Chains A and B, each alone.
Chain A
Amino acid sequence: MSRLVIESRPERTVWAPIQVSLLAVLLTCLGGSVLFMIYGVPPLKGLDAIFIDPLRTSYGVGEILLKMAPLLLIAQGLAIGFRAQIWNIGAEGQLIVGAIAATALAIQFQGTTSPLLLPAMIIAGMMGGMVWAGIAALLRAQFNANEILVTFMLTSVALQLLYYLVAGPMRDPSGFNFPQSIRFDAAAKFPILIEGTRVNASLFIGLVASLIAVIFVQRSLVSYKMSVGGIAPAAATYAGYSSKKAIWLALLISGGAAGMAGVGEVSGPLGMLQRNISPGYGYAGIIVAVLGGLHPIGIIFASALMALVYVGGDFALLSLGVPNAVTGIFQGMLLTFYLACSFLLTSRIRWIKPDALKQEAPAD
Chain B
Amino acid sequence: MDVLVFIVSGTLAAATALIFAAMGELVAEKSGVLNLGIEGMMATGAAMGFVAVSLSGSYTVGFVAAAVLGCLLSLVHAVLTLVFRADQTASGLAIGILGLGLSSAIGKSYEGRTVAGLPELNLGPLSDIPVIGEMFFQQDIMVYLSIALIFATWYVLTRTKLGLVIRAIGESPENAHALGLKVRLIRAGCVGFGGAMAGIGGAYMSTAYTPLWAEGMIAGRGWIVVALTVFGTWIVPRVAFGAYLFGSMSLLELSIQAFGWNIPSQAMSVLPYVVTIIMLAVISRNLAFIRLNSPASLGAVLKIS
Contact = CB atoms under 8 A, between A and B. Distances in A.
Interface in A145-183: 145-146, 148-150, 152-154, 156-157, 160-161, 163-164, 168
B95 A332 contact: yes
Contacts of A339: 80, 84, 86-87, 90-91, 94
B243 to A, nearest CB: 16
Contact of A144 (B36, B85, B285): B285
Q: Which 9 A-B pairs have the closest CB atoms?
A: A328-B101, A332-B98, A325-B104, A329-B101, A325-B105, A335-B94, A339-B86, A160-B266, A143-B281
A343 interface: yes
A343 B85 contact: yes
A164 B220 contact: no
A362 B266 CA distance: 67
A346 to B, nearest CB: 8
A336 B94 contact: yes
Given A325-B105, A329-B101, A335-B97, A149 B270 contact: no
Contacts of A323: 104-105, 108
Interface string B209-242: 0000000000110010011001000000000000
Nearest to A135: B277
Nearest to B219: A156
A309 to B, nearest CB: 11
A72 B227 CA distance: 30
Contacts of A156: 219-220, 270, 273
Interface in B266-305: 266-267, 269-270, 273-274, 276-277, 280-282, 284-285, 287, 290
Contact of A153 (B76, B98, B223): B223
Contacts of B114: none
Dominant secondary structure at the A interface: helix
A331 interface: yes
Interface string B246-276: 0000000000000000001011011001101
Interface residues of B, number: 46
A95 interface: no
Nearest to A324: B104
B163 to A, nearest CB: 25
A73 interface: no
Interface in B59-81: 76, 79-80
Contact of A157 (B85, B87, B104, B273): B273
Interface in B30-83: 36, 40, 76, 79-80
A139 B277 contact: yes
B57 to A, nearest CB: 24
Contacts of A286: 93, 97
A83 B89 CA distance: 13
Given A152-B220, A342-B86, 19 more contacts: A85-B89, A139-B281, A143-B285, A149-B276, A150-B280, A156-B270, A161-B266, A161-B270, A163-B266, A164-B266, A168-B264, A323-B105, A325-B101, A326-B101, A328-B98, A328-B100, A332-B99, A336-B76, A339-B87
Contacts of B91: 336, 339
A75 interface: no
Interface residues of A, number: 42
B102 interface: yes
Nearest to B269: A160
B104 A139 contact: no
A89 interface: yes
Nearest to B99: A332
Which of B40, B84, B282 has the most A CB atoms < 10 Å from its CB?
Answer: B84
Contacts of A154: 273, 277
A101 interface: no
A103 interface: no
A161 B287 CA distance: 32
A287 interface: yes
Interface in A320-351: 323, 325-333, 335-336, 339-343
A87 interface: yes
A311 B105 CA distance: 18
A210 to B, nearest CB: 21
A145 B281 contact: yes
A89 B102 CA distance: 20
B230 A149 contact: yes
Contact of B280 (A145, A329, A331): A145
Contacts of A161: 266, 270
A290 interface: yes
Nearest to B222: A152
Interface string A70-97: 0000000000000001010100000000
Contacts of B79: 340
Contacts of B284: 143-146
A157 B223 CA distance: 13
A332 B101 contact: yes
Interface in B6-50: 36, 40
